[in-house]
Amino acid sequence: MSLIDKLDHNRLPAHIAIIMDGNGRWAKTRGLDRSAGHREGVEAIRRVVEAASAASIQYLTLYAFSTENWHRPMDEVSGLMDLMVYALTRETARLKKNGVRIVVIGDLDRLPDNVRKILQDCIQETAGGKNLTLVIALSYSSKWELTQAVKKISDDIESGILHKEDICEETFSNYLTTRNLPDPDLLIRTGGEQRISNFLLWQSAYAEFYFTETFWPDFNDEELYKAILDYQKRERRFGKISEQIEPEQ
Ligand code: FPP
């Protein structure tokens, strides 16, 4: 029996965000190049996107490449860029057929032209997807995102579009790359480390965290459902006390 049958469909996280970690170590334990780990990582992405769709998850955000990842050796960076082009070219038709809409967040100006182009095509092709929104965080970091939000806010104040008195949490959220997305309910990190690595710092204010030792290339549908079941055992109080929480139907 699959763990999907054990999920409480009335208490699903609307948005799951994942820090996909452990590709390099997965490869190393097998005596392979790091690039082999990244290639297997793409297969894990395919499995997890299908598993999330099957469980009616509405938003899935994957941390594919951080601002800090630009500092990796040049051949690893270019290998990852090529892999993204390959994976997106191969998967766009299937994503579209399965009602998956692609959204990309991050500093896209830093990406090579061919990656930007394939992303634009994929975003356009899948724009009508109604089942799952797959958000790819690429050349993304929260500190970059928060800094560019502050710059845009200053520009808008200077040009009179925005007034300082009108700035509230909601206004601020609207200057982030995630402006049209709900905050993540569940944040998963694979690969054994327990840190957030500059990912969705503002948006994860009340996310539930789930850490697993499993390396990303080994992550699969059952691992995803295990994380959701763990999430469903938790009481989300959002700063209130237990007695104030409405029992969910
Ligand atoms: C982390 O493992 C993984 C990455 C930095 C890259 C993840 C990207 C992909 C799997 C390709 C994404 C493709 C698309 C189309 C979204 P690591 O290299 O940090 O592993 P380590 O900690 O074991 O060294």
pLDDT at res. 249: 54
Confidence of residue 94 (pLDDT cuts 50, 70, 90): very high
Q: Provide the residue ranges of all domains of the chain, joining segments of one domain with +.
A: 3-233
pLDDT at res. 219: 98
Residue 24 — φ and ψ, nearest 5°? -65, -45
Percent of the chain scored above 90 by pLDDT?
Answer: 94
pLDDT at res. 247: 65
| 38-47 pLDDT per residue, tens | 999 999 999 9
Picking from 173, 128, 131, the residue whose alpha carbon sits closest to that of residue 153 is 173
Query: What stretch of H or E contains 27?
Result: helix 23-29
Q: Residue 23 Cα, ligand 1 centroid: separation in angstroms? A: 6
| 183-203 pLDDT per residue, tens | 999 999 999 999 999 999 999
CA 13-150-180 angle, to 5 degrees, is 30
Closest approach atom of ligand 1 to CA 34: 18
| Residue to probe by mutation, ligand 1, list 21, 39, 92, 94, most atoms within 8 Å of CB | 21
- pTM of the complete model: 0.95
pLDDT at res. 242: 83
Choose which CATH entry (3.40.50.970, 1.10.3720.10, 3.40.1180.10, 3.40.50.12280) describes domain 3-233: 3.40.1180.10
Looking at the chain, how many residues does it have?
249
Q: Is 21 annotated in the active site? A: yes
In angstroms, the CA 57 to CA 7 distance is: 12
Confidence of residue 235 (pLDDT cuts 50, 70, 90): confident
Average pLDDT over residues 157-170: 97
Q: Which of 5, 8, 10, 21 is catalytic?
A: 21
Confidence of residue 248 (pLDDT cuts 50, 70, 90): low
| 111-129 pLDDT per residue, tens | 999 999 999 999 999 999 9
Average pLDDT over residues 224-234: 97
| DSSP letters for 73-132 | -HHHHHHHHHHHHHHHHHHHHHHHHTTEEEEEES-GGGS-HHHHHHHHHHHHHTTT--SE
Residue 34 — φ and ψ, nearest 5°? -55, -35
- Are 189 and 18 in contact, with CB atoms under 8 Å apart? yes
Query: What stretch of H or E contains 16?
Result: strand 15-19
